[in-house]
Amino acid sequence: MTVVVSLHDAGRVHDGVHALKGVNLEVSAGELVAVMGPSGSGKSTLLNLAGGLDRPTSGTVRIEGEDLAGVKDLAVVRRGRVGYVFQDLNLIPSLTAAENVMLPRELDGVSAGKARKEALAVLAELSLGDLADDFPEELSGGQRQRVAIARALVGERRLLLADEPTGALDTATGDGILGLLRGRCDAGAAVLLVTHEPRYAAWADRVVFLRDGEIADSTDVPLESAR
């Protein structure tokens, strides 16, 4: 299987705090890896490095074989290859749901017409088709969460990163989101999912446990689990 993202001995120091220490991790196409661990163990830092939102202070991060240390503008790598669902939803309040989802594609040079078509298709997949022209403030918390997820999924990105994507959602909707991530994964994406919930980790192929910035354990999830 093609390795989509790899961290080699990757570390990140924030103001003297070792948020991540010498982490080695590879996620291949078709693989969903759940990242678990106590608060402050480095889960978000790991996701930020894997997605090129932040650079390591030691070690190497590669996305589809490309060493990010040699990339001047990480935004280009992110927009084209990485979908990221943030903990805070980060929707732009002055744009409709569809426009929020279209934005990363338009920034990539896709025409407005094509970007809208893609956005409407993903929104429909997330049962948000009727709300495409609503603004974030007109949506419920759960609906906003799903729009943020639609924005991460649009455009066939090879690497999807989700930081507690089910946080504001009820169990049924959360299961729906996991099903979607799993579907993208089975279609060839690599997915890294931070979650505190074992029921969601059961959808993963592998669970990585972080403690004090290090991988304390890594376990393959048996196929007969919740999936």
Ligand X SMILES: Nc1ncnc2c1ncn2[C@@H]1O[C@H](COP(=O)(O)OP(=O)(O)OP(=O)(O)O)[C@@H](O)[C@H]1O
Of residues 21 and 105, the one with the C-beta less far from ligand X: 21
Sheet with 159-163, strands from edge to edge, namely 82-85, 159-163, 190-194, 32-36, 206-211, 214-220
212 three-state secondary structure: coil
Using CB under 6 A, which of 6, 45, 96, 143 touches ligand X? Answer: 45
Helix (H) or strand (E) holding 168: none
- Closest separation in Å from C-beta 195 to ligand X: 10
Using CB under 6 A, which of 11, 36, 37, 126 touches ligand X? Answer: 37
Kindly identify the residues of this chain, within the stretch 15-34, that bind ligand X according to CB under 6 A: 15, 17, 19
The yes or no reply on residue 98 touching ligand X (CB under 6 A) is no
| DSSP structure class, residue 25 | E
Helix (H) or strand (E) holding 92: none
- Closest separation in Å from C-beta 165 to ligand X: 13
Of residues 44 and 143, the one with the C-beta less far from ligand X: 44
Would you state the structure tokens that stand for residue 96, as one six-digit string? Answer: 């409709």
Burial class (CB in 10 A: 0-12, 13-18, 19+), 170: exposed
Using CB under 6 A, which of 11, 42, 104, 155 touches ligand X? Answer: 42
Using CB under 6 A, which of 6, 44, 143, 195 touches ligand X? Answer: 44
Q: List residues near ligand X by CB under 6 A.
A: 14-15, 17, 19, 37, 39-45
